[in-house]
Amino acid sequence: MASHLLSVADLGADGLHELLDLTDSMIEVAERRIPKVPVLRGKTVVSLFYEDSTRTRLSFETAAKRLSADTMNFSVSTSSVKKGESLRDTVITIEAMGVDAIVVRHGSAGVPWQIADWVDASVINAGDGWHEHPTQALLDCYTIREKLGSLQDRHIAIVGDIKHSRVARSDVLAFTLLGAHVTLVAPPTLLPPSLEGWPVAVSHDLDSVLKTVDVVYLLRMQKERQTEALLPSLREYTALYGLTRERARLLGDDTLVMHPGPMNRGVEIAAEVADLPRSVITRQVANGVAVRSAVLFKLLGSEPTS
Amino acid sequence: MSLVIKGGTVVDETGTRTADVRIEDGTIVAVGESLTGDTTLDATGCIVSSGFVDLHTHLRQPGREEAETIETGSRAAALGGFTAVVAMPNTEPAIDSAGVVREVLDWGAKALCDVRPAGAITKGRAGKELAPLGEMADLGVRLFTDDGAGVQDSRLMRRALEYASALGVTLAQHCEDEGLASGGHMHEGEWSSRLGIPGIPAEAEELMVARDIALSRLTGAPVHFLHMSTARSIELIRAAKAEGLPVTAEAAPHHFTLTHAAIAGYDPVFKVNPPLRSDADVEAVRTGLADGTIDAIATDHAPHAQELKEAAFDEAPPGMLGLETCFALALQLGVPIERVLALLSWNPARIAGLTAEHGGPIAEGRPANLTVLDLAHAWTVEPERLASRSRNTPYAGWALQGRARHTVFRGEPVVVDMEATR
């Protein structure tokens, strides 16, 4: 019976802690002279990315190679999908070539769940539409834990386009599972239509929230939102919700600034703020590889290899 | 050659009685006790009713024959107890001219039920220019709709209603304001926010319901509202009827049995337009069907080829099968059987202008379009065993009760003991 990582909710607090602890070992591997262990030798991990994403794809690929797994890339733009092959036929074909794990990113929510129904391989959700991005949430938790010791009772503000953000949805689940208090800060047009059942507070006043938080988590503001009548302009967004130099001065001494990348410097975050010592954005990226190695090991590593 | 339906309980608008029904040459020749004939259909323990009339079926021919044809769809209809279906015009090409109407009538001539094409309101269903309603009405078309889309332009809709009122036909609306609905794939609410799927707010339907009620008032023309799905839509219709406006409405079985929670597994089989809504909306549809606000149950039977429903949720086309599961689900409303038959047969026959041949009463001289219903029959929905060419039913695996045992179309037994005869 294959196990998957589709949603943060599947893990629960215990599962989260287990993966974070496993990540410690993976960080240690990364720091060795030869950062490679043979635990997944002979296993094949395929990246099935229907959306462009060099960073996440490379992160998963590196993570797999550190564990000595073989990797394959299924690049949609050059593939038979352009010739009209259906989603189901694509994944069944990939599986027929003999893969142990499929890392999937798709523009539509739910695709990883559908794929998990059709294949025997392990399925890892690398981002499904607006819905979830579990490994991002894991690396975010790991980074906060690394810098602040624990998430229990910490105050975290997630700022920006929550409505369209799979990172926000996974982070809300993960941060609250680990005991943090989350406040969403966004204009009403960028919040989901219903926050029924979400364990969060909401604010439209970034300045007052900034004084109270241990972590400010910024989301990327896409230029397209302006044409969808969700914002009058990026300029106004930055004025009301951007982490400008002036706003950065409101933060507590130990407050972290985080971002899932890639950043729009000058929009959601001022260029110089991104480079402050409190900004752990590059640390997030480094942790990402170790977290993804932990996930692959948890799902595919079984009997110890000789 | 005579056919007798024996031992059943005859129910029509005039009342209920134990009686046999004798049929010759497509006509009912006697309704009474101890009748005999050359062939017998056993109706012991069953209700004998006028055949059902579906105001809203997608038969997909011409254009999408891999999903369904007029023949296969009519077979599914007959198995569901229907003796007439109104075939929606969103075919390829659309039914927007006498030529396509004639084609559909031709194919329908050999079908297992009466296939009545609906015409489009606008050319190509594009919402820009009136289609030739008069030339289609001349061929017997009584209902017109751009179903699949609503007519967005209010002035055009007004003109269409005014023009139609001279023809004695009814315009039916798929109420969906494109500005509010666009980009959405499921009901906007708690579930769409949780699942990360773009939503369609209830207001996208309600805005057009309110507009067309106003246009009906302005023009005096009748409007039939297709697939009503929200509580406020139903309130608007209730008020319009209280005012005496000539409006009618239908609802589909999936809108009184399923909610948006069904989409949790991201299975596109549950994707439909209008989408599955909240518990409160489902409750309002059930109440509306019981209290007369909604006149008819219409299936919105929408077959899709399997591979189209095995796509990402956002990319899959909306639509569900409905003809063969409709009756059992209607029984779940918990209303008296007379109300069920009114919703499935007597009322839709009137709305479709088919009362000369369908919808009863069951009396000497009337055309023999009947169905014999076994209310107690227990069965499980198996998609591969449905007569439709497609498999996209949201009720796969459901244990249902109630099924048509026999269906007689123009005197011919097209379904006998739950199997099609051809």
In one letter, which amino acid is B60? Answer: R
CB B57 within 8 A of CB B86: yes
- DSSP 8-state code for residue B301: B
B200 → chain A, closest CA residue: A193
CATH of the domain at B17: 2.30.40.10
Q: Cβ A130–B196 below 8 Å, yes or no?
A: yes
Which one is catalytic: B54, B96, B281, B300?
Answer: B300
In a domain, B357, yes or no: no
Q: B32 and B143 in one domain?
A: no
> Count of domains in chain B?
2
For tokens 């894991």, the residue is: A138
Choose the closest CB to B196 out of A114, A166, A198.
A166
Distances in Å between the Cα of A131 and the Cα atoms of A219, A291, B24, B263 are 15, 20, 62, 13
The last residue of one of the domains, among B293, B317, B351, is B351
Whether residue B297 sits in one domain with residue B227:
yes
Residues B35 and B66 in one domain: no
> Can you give the residue range of the structural domain that contains B263?
51-351
Task: Indicate whether B358 belongs to any domain.
Answer: no
Q: What would the two tokens of residue B206 be?
A: 């309600």
Alpha-carbon dihedral B199, B203, B209, B214, rounded to 10 degrees: -150
Q: Contact B312/A111, CB-based, under 8 Å?
A: yes
Question: What is the ipTM score, two decimals?
Answer: 0.91
What is residue A139's three-state secondary structure?
Answer: helix
In terms of domains, do B131 and B9 share one?
A: no
Residues B294, B153, single domain; the answer is yes
Residue B360 lies in a domain: no
Domain match, B33 and B137 both: no
- A102 vs chain B: nearest CA distance in angstroms? 16
My answer on whether B261 and B369 are in the same domain is: no
CATH number reported for the structural domain that contains residue B114 in this entry: 3.20.20.140
Q: In what order do the strands lie in the sheet with B247-251?
A: B143-144, B170-173, B223-225, B247-251, B296-297
Does A193 sit within 8 Å of B188, measured CB to CB? yes
Q: Nearest-CA distance from B212 to chain A in Å?
A: 27
A200-203, strands of its sheet edge to edge: A200-203, A181-185, A155-159, A215-218, A256-258
- Considering only CB atoms, B266 lies closest to which of A113, A166, A196, namely A113
Q: Which of B194, B267, B310 comes nearest A88 by C-beta?
A: B310
* Nearest by CB: A108 against B189, B194, B314: B314
Neighbours of A86 (CB within 10 A): 16
Contacts of A113 in chain B (CB under 8 A): 265-266
Distance (Å, rounded) from C-alpha B175 to C-alpha B165? 20
Residue B147 in any domain: the answer is yes
Q: How confident is the model at residue A83 (pLDDT cuts 50, 70, 90)?
A: low
Reply yes or no on whether the pLDDT at A225 is more than 80. Answer: no
Residues from chain A that touch B193, judged by Cβ atoms under 8 A, are 192-196, 198
Does residue B412 share a domain with residue B283? no
CA B193/CA B260 separation, integer angstroms: 11
Chain A partners within 8 Å of B192 (Cβ) = 192-194
Residue B356 resides in a domain:
no
Say if the Cβ atoms of B311 and A87 lie within 8 Å.
yes
Give the A:B interface size as CB pairs under 8 Å. Answer: 72
Does some domain include residue B123? Answer: yes
Residue B289 shares a structural domain with residue B343:
yes
Per-residue pLDDT tens listing for chain B (422 residues): 999 999 999 999 999 999 999 999 999 999 999 999 999 999 999 999 999 999 999 999 999 999 999 999 999 999 999 999 999 999 999 999 999 999 999 999 999 999 999 999 999 999 999 999 999 999 999 999 999 999 999 999 999 999 999 999 999 999 999 999 999 999 999 999 999 999 999 999 999 999 999 999 999 999 999 999 999 999 999 999 999 999 999 999 999 999 999 999 999 999 999 999 999 999 999 999 999 999 999 999 999 999 999 999 999 999 999 999 999 999 999 999 999 999 999 999 999 999 999 998 999 999 999 999 999 999 999 999 999 999 999 999 999 999 999 999 999 999 999 999 99
Tell me which of A194, A196, A230 to substitute to probe the interface with B (most B C-beta atoms closer than 10 Å): A194
Cα distance from A32 to chain B (closest Cα, Å)?
40
Beta carbons of A109 and B197 less than 8 Å apart: yes
Give the chain B residue whose CA is nearest to the CA of A7: B195
Same structural domain, B310 and B382: no
- Based on the fold, state whether residues B234 and B344 are members of the same structural domain: yes
Q: What are phi and psi of B11, to 5 degrees?
A: -125, 125
Residue A187: which region, alpha, beta or left (left: phi > 0; alpha: psi -120 to 50)? beta
Between B190, B196, B266, which is nearest A194 by CB? B190
Q: Which of B326, B351, B376 is the last residue of a domain?
A: B351
- DSSP strand pairing (A101-106 vs A44-49): parallel
Q: What is the pTM of this model?
A: 0.94
Mean of pLDDT over chain A: 93
Q: Which of B329, B351, B373 is the last residue of a domain?
A: B351
Enumerate domains of chain A plus CATH numbers: 8-133+286-300 (3.40.50.1370), 134-284 (3.40.50.1370)
Residue B300 is among the residues annotated as catalytic for this protein: yes
Which residues does chain A have within 8 Å of residue B198's beta carbon, measured at their own beta carbons? 130
Identify whether B220 is part of a domain: yes
- Band (pLDDT 50/70/90 cuts) for residue A229 is confident
Q: Average pLDDT in the A159-165 region?
A: 96
In B, minimum Cα distance to A173 occurs at B194
Examine residue B275 and state whether it is found in any structural domain, yes or no. Answer: yes
